[in-house]
Structure 1
Amino acid sequence: MSNHNQRLLNPNRNPNPERLLAIPVKKSDPVELYRPLRNLVARKYSESDAQKVESVLETLNKCRSDMVERGDLSLPMQRDCLIHYFKCLCMVDPLFTAISSDSHSDPIVFVWYDAFYSEHENGVSSQRNSIQLEKVSVLFNLGAVCSQIGASCDRTTPLGRHLAIDAFNAAANFFFKLWNVFAKDVSATLDLTLLFAETLYRLCGAQALEIRLQQQLEHNNNDTAASSALQQHRCAVTFRLVSVNYQIAYDLILHDSAATEHVFSFDRTWMTHLHQKVKFFQVEAHRRRSSILPKSQLPQTISLFRSCPLDHDAVSVTEKLVRGICCWSSLFRSCPLDLEAELVRKIWKLKHKSIPKQERIPYLDLLLSEYSSFKIIDDGKLVANPWDMPPPYPTYLEILSSSSLSIMPPIPLKKSEPLDLYESLRSYVALKYSESEANRVEGLFKTVDKLRSEMQRDDLSLPVRRDCLILYLKCLCMIEPLFSMTTSPNPPIFVWYNAFNPQEDSSQHNIHFEKASVLFNLGALSTHITLSCDLSTVQGYRLAMDALYDASYWFFILWKLEAEKSSATIDLSVNCVQMLREMIAAQIADLTWNCPHSHSDGSSLAEYLVTLRCRKAYDLSTLGPLAENFVQSSIPQFLESKMKTRHVQTDPSDVTEQFLSGYCEAQSLLREACQTPSLDLLSEVGPVMIKDGNLVINLRGSIGRIGGDELPGDHGNMTIDRN
């Protein structure tokens, strides 16, 4: 390591202060929400409607009570509670519009105090029944709690640094939402102004980048000469980004006298700290400016808030597994839309004028998943799991009754031979690392083995099987860094059969073959869910649409990421996957055309798109090996046939529909900030968690109950290593 890098990483000689700033949380007074909101629903809608949503109202009330009154919650549990509460708030948002004009309702007054006043001075009350102050305060506290998690992590280890990066990135994203979306509409305490929201956004972003810079400097010592220029470029760019963001945060406070006095009254050392950061990174950015490559040699754009991978030279198997789970987040990025898909969306907007602004309502999880925090059960009742009592739901596993209408043939699922993954994985880790390392992760390996066995069970309901496949895919991403297990005495051999021709199989050690097969089954299973839906009801229609989008998504991931990484049976080939995606796209276009609240606008365009997609799929299905595989399949006949129109009835005034619209809004707002897989490993309600540096199965979470048998794990509370 160079003398400069040693000086940078040594706190005793480093002019850059090692301290990271954590944002204090806002405090609030208690308020009762359940009774006035339930009375409003019963009065405005009906007692039956009130019973449908009372579970959500109870959860809303409990979340707020715990958020305000419980001081024993760990930082990850505080984060879980706030996220759950924010979703509930968005769901009940329409009720606050109604209650403000209801003379029979008692006002609901939210009182929040400035986070930078420790003595609860200058509390602010919202306007009568206004929910906006409550939302912005919760977003502020989400950012504050994430910053406290980041500051609490042990940054002397690769795992701790990665957790800190994710935490500060999440905090920055929450403060960005506050600054860019919410704060401008609220007149409240100084901590919720646009100035403070942007300051905290810049501060948390700078701290995330600073920790990533520490990783980059350590990587430089182990990189080859060929990549030296690229690494120097990245370090130079990061120094500049850190400098710019610290400078903006410092200037915003310094150039506003009220803000400066406010920060001084909280902690006078903050301004000194920011000044030191600005000076240090300005000097370093200037010194390294010559390392920045010309545009023609630039690498991919360095995102301000994208997580950095774990250290390449990490020796801990736990760190490698966490690196794998972080790759999982890339599977949930939005798929690029082609021209026809954009046209389908335009048709959807034209023909769904009375449906909420969100283009997709997440019925698939709300109706099917046993691991969703909210669920629609019998007779449209919307129930909520308390945030500290994780799923799965013990009952209501059945999906909607199948209708007599048939839309598309189901894609058959792939079958596999049994395999003992636990013994292979554990023996490999014990041999390559140590017996103690194997003990640290054996609970995870038992889970992987159990999930692989369960996902092949034909007696599981479609929802449970879908959840099992998703959880297994997540585990595969965790163990992927261990492959290929070239030094293993008994490497696992995956055997899968062709879905369309069961006489054909493939045997490989390649984990991409296993991932591709699981992705295929996720897409295929979604078509089975589509066929089980009752298209004469609005719930059935939307569930069918969601399942089709889900199928298209999984086949897209298969086509984009895994299909070319393994030589396998023809059903996993690029041509076959493209054919299936075209067929599903045709079905989506057809159902969009024949949707609820049908208008004439766009029908000719939709009909053209259905025909075009079917033609593309049919042409692919008749080429070479695919044609031989589809001899016994009804897919070619389906593609040649004309789809029938469906008619769906709905009641737009249903209170449950309004709650679901709010749920969609919350999902959209939280998606970017909450896609932090390493932070999820700190959650005490998650299926897999980090405890004392070990990956353990959390029996309070969902993964231990798949198939009804509990897995060995650890009930202990998680603690965060502190620097």
Structure 2
Amino acid sequence: MNNNDRVLSIPLKKTDPVELYLPLRKLVASKYSESDAQKVESVLQTLNKCRRDMVEPRADLSLPMQRDCLLHYFKCLSMVESLFTSLSSDADPILFVWYDAFNPDHQDGVSSQRSAIQLEKAAVVFNLGAIYSQIAASCDRTTALGRHLAMEAFKVAANFFLQLWQVFAKDVVATLDLTLVFAEFLQRLFSAQASELELREELNNNDASYALQQHRCALSFISVYKLYRRAYALIPTDSAARKHVRSFDPTWVTHLYQKKRFFEAEARQRQSSILPESERPGVYSKVESCALDHDAECIPEILVRGICCRPSKKHKLMYGERKRTRKQRYIDLNLSEYNPFKMMKYGKLVAYPWDMPPPYPTDSAILSSSLSSSSSDILAFIPLKKSEPLNLYESLRSYFVLKYSESVAERVDGLLEMLHKLRNEMLRDDLSLPLRRDCLMRYYKCLCMIEPVFPMNASPNPPIFVWYNAINPQQHSSQHNIHLEKASVLFNLGALCTYIALSCDLTTVQGRRLAMDALKDASYWFHQLAMFESRKASGTIDVSRYYIHVLDFQFLDLELKFRVPQPDEPSLSGYPVSAYYPSTSGPPLAYDPSSDVTQQFVLGYSNAHSLLQGVCEIPAPCLDLLSEVSPVKIKDGNLVANAATLEGTKFGIGEHELAGDTTTVALP
């Protein structure tokens, strides 16, 4: 495809410093109490630190680290957002001043109105889109891995500007770069660049018939042309926008015009390749396990793509009515070692600095020391699956050396090292419930990365997975099939979350919320198992769809038992739980979210987490491999184990206890 390989990226907006900790802490103390201010002061301190690092970025911050800082700040900002509506007229104003990103002289900075947090959030969303555009432009697009990362980063940048255009920039009086027309332009621009990179991958893809490949490419050329046409139309037709872009970089308009003309000509030339509706095969692909027959240079990219697999359109239609998502409000705030925001005893919130590597200490005080007697039936029904130990590192590394070379094996050595470590740890019965859950989740992610390697037909010593039936341990399945491994891990994740739910202290609102979140998490993992792995695993009956269907009825009963009003249900404020849910066991629990500052913060966190998950994590999970806190990182095109988080997999029970709060529950 003979076209200009240049891609466009944008600078970050600049801002003036502002003190947030002292006025916000004073506000919490006056509106709630001094003890409430102490509960949330860690979040306020981290908010202040994030903004300081954002205003005056350190020289040692890489683009991914700047991104991590912005993401952390956005979550903190969302947590305190409700406080800005509480500022009284006689309080000292908190003014945010931002400058136009495309004006290098920083003239005509715009100041927010009194307590107007909308400008701050809009500017941060802009900068998140900008930093992802810079990450994309910095990728080495001469390699398969670099092109893939650039494509995913441009998609996320476009998603942020879509949010800016449709949500955050509305009713914000600001500089030209935050206007709706400019936000829409940037969304179209980065969508076009992402689609162009995806088209380049499509042109190199030979896994389909000639007719189908030509059909796909024709549709892609038309799609890219329409995106560039719309982006170009938004600038020259708006005199202020055109002048603004030309003052920043006069070649932008010419670049967009050339892109539009090129893709328009290519789209017209290829239009005849579009197949009639009756002749079109299923063009929606899904990742299947297959032997790697690609060039050695592409291997890291193929493994990275493993965590980006999506269900086919057929699956989406089939299971559309049962779509489930993980909102992760309370379970990760309490139990995850890798979430930097924590809810501790008595509602205290702790925010670990964005640049502090995990793992972080957990507080499992809301778990009971023993499982309640009322849970015995379900526990007997969902025991954990057991497996035989396996040295995955040796077999997988030998495969890469044999099929490719020692240098290729070295490029993926970090992933294989982490994979082997996590598998050993997940089999330990002496781990606490939270630690084991974290280990299973991280191991499953690594399994998704190596899935394209299977079946390892070229290996003289392929790994054999041995799993025992959870219902009848006398039966087992021994296979080379990675889907048996993935199905078993998903099963154990679901079962483990039921143990967490049933071991919570139901005499507290926090314990009930955690129990409900754990049950939803369990239902999610079993749902994933039934949808994507059961039909491929062909193992023991406990991973069959029939068994998972039976479990669904158990979850319905348990959800009624643990139900508690959520912070977004203000109509129940101040009333005991049992008054609205007579089936709820335990004493009545008062609930008044408006008088609980920690719950206001948690609700803000939840909203931010859901938004960022939809914008960043769901469309491009592989970009987490660029982060300094990822257990497996991409460095110079290689997959390396992060030394800090690799140490964190040494899950010694005494290493992360908090004054004896971490609970270990014996599992059957």
Superposed pair shares fold, TM > 0.5: yes
Normalised by the length of structure 2, the TM-score is: 0.89
Unaligned runs of 5+ in 2: 654-668
1:517 and 1:646 map into 2 onto residues whose CA distance is 37
| 1:525 alignment partner AA | L
Unaligned runs of 5+ in 1: 1-7, 9-13, 346-357, 608-641, 710-723
Q: Could you tell me how far 1:491 is from its partner in structure 2?
A: 1.3
- Bigger CA drift: 283-292 or 672-681? 672-681
Structure 2 counterpart of 1:173: 159
Structure 2 counterpart of 1:444: 415
Q: Could you tell me how far 1:391 is from its partner in structure 2?
A: 2.0
The question of whether the paired residues in 2 share the 8 Å contact of 1:392 and 1:702 is answered with no
Structure 1 counterpart of 2:332: 365
Q: Pick closer, same or farther for the CA change 1:423–1:702 going to 2, 3 Å.
A: closer
1:567 and 1:210 map into 2 onto residues whose CA distance is 40
Structure 2 counterpart of 1:352: none
2:45 and 2:564 map into 1 onto residues whose CA distance is 39
Structure 2 counterpart of 1:697: 641
Equivalent of 2:552 in 569, 581, 586: 581
Structure 2 counterpart of 1:671: 613
2:637 and 2:319 map into 1 onto residues whose CA distance is 41
Describe how 1:559-598 pairs up with structure 2 within 5 A: 559-592=530-563, 597=572
3-state SS in 2 of match to 1:681:
helix
Alignment partner of 1:33 is 2:1: no
- Bigger CA drift: 459-468 or 485-494? 485-494
| 2:591 alignment partner AA | T
Q: Could you tell me how far 1:583 is from its partner in structure 2?
A: 1.7
1:328 and 1:365 map into 2 onto residues whose CA distance is 24
Q: Pick closer, same or farther for the CA change 1:560–1:320 going to 2, 3 Å.
A: same
Alignment partner of 1:241 is 2:223: yes
2:538 and 2:505 map into 1 onto residues whose CA distance is 39
Q: Pick closer, same or farther for the CA change 1:124–1:218 going to 2, 3 Å.
A: same
Structure 2 counterpart of 1:530: 501
Structure 1 counterpart of 2:36: 49
Q: Pick closer, same or farther for the CA change 1:137–1:695 going to 2, 3 Å.
A: same
Describe how 1:681-720 pairs up with structure 2 within 5 A: 681-701=625-645, 704-708=648-652
2:443 and 2:310 map into 1 onto residues whose CA distance is 12
Q: Could you tell me how far 1:298 is from its partner in structure 2?
A: 4.3
The question of whether the paired residues in 2 share the 8 Å contact of 1:116 and 1:191 is answered with yes
Structure 1 counterpart of 2:518: 547
| 1:95 alignment partner AA | L
Structure 1 counterpart of 2:66: 78
The question of whether the paired residues in 2 share the 8 Å contact of 1:368 and 1:399 is answered with no
1:360 and 1:272 map into 2 onto residues whose CA distance is 44
| 1:548 alignment partner AA | L
Alignment partner of 1:252 is 2:234: yes
1:238 and 1:370 map into 2 onto residues whose CA distance is 42
Q: Could you tell me how far 1:586 is from its partner in structure 2?
A: 3.3
Q: Could you tell me how far 1:287 is from its partner in structure 2?
A: 1.1
Equivalent of 2:592 in 651, 676, 692: 651
The question of whether the paired residues in 1 share the 8 Å contact of 2:161 and 2:184 is answered with yes
| 2:514 alignment partner AA | L
Aligned residues: 631
Structure 2 counterpart of 1:315: 296
Q: Could you tell me how far 1:290 is from its partner in structure 2?
A: 1.1
1:565 and 1:703 map into 2 onto residues whose CA distance is 34
Structure 2 counterpart of 1:272: 254
Equivalent of 2:86 in 98, 101, 120: 98
Structure 2 counterpart of 1:110: 96
2:584 and 2:335 map into 1 onto residues whose CA distance is 26
Structure 2 counterpart of 1:406: 374
Equivalent of 1:289 in 256, 268, 271: 271
Structure 2 counterpart of 1:430: 401
Q: Could you tell me how far 1:399 is from its partner in structure 2?
A: 4.3
The question of whether the paired residues in 1 share the 8 Å contact of 2:422 and 2:649 is answered with no
The question of whether the paired residues in 2 share the 8 Å contact of 1:28 and 1:111 is answered with yes
| 1:670 alignment partner AA | L
2:96 and 2:65 map into 1 onto residues whose CA distance is 23
Structure 1 counterpart of 2:661: none
Q: Could you tell me how far 1:378 is from its partner in structure 2?
A: 1.7
Q: Pick closer, same or farther for the CA change 1:154–1:400 going to 2, 3 Å.
A: same
Structure 2 counterpart of 1:617: none
Alignment partner of 1:519 is 2:490: yes
Describe how 1:98-177 pairs up with structure 2 within 5 A: 98-99=86-87, 101=88, 103=90, 105-177=91-163
Per-residue Cα deviation, 1:378-430 (whole angstroms, up to 9, x for no partner): 22110011111122113535543368573562221011111111111111111
| 2:294 alignment partner AA | D
| 2:30 alignment partner AA | R
Per-residue Cα deviation, 1:263-320 (whole angstroms, up to 9, x for no partner): 11111111111111111111111111111122334466889xx9xx9x9834343222
The question of whether the paired residues in 2 share the 8 Å contact of 1:143 and 1:170 is answered with yes
Alignment partner of 1:509 is 2:480: yes
Structure 1 counterpart of 2:450: 479
The question of whether the paired residues in 1 share the 8 Å contact of 2:397 and 2:409 is answered with yes
Q: Could you tell me how far 1:260 is from its partner in structure 2?
A: 0.9
The question of whether the paired residues in 2 share the 8 Å contact of 1:681 and 1:689 is answered with yes
3-state SS in 1 of match to 2:300:
helix
2:645 and 2:173 map into 1 onto residues whose CA distance is 40
- Bigger CA drift: 172-181 or 62-71? 62-71
The question of whether the paired residues in 1 share the 8 Å contact of 2:334 and 2:362 is answered with no
1:672 and 1:196 map into 2 onto residues whose CA distance is 22
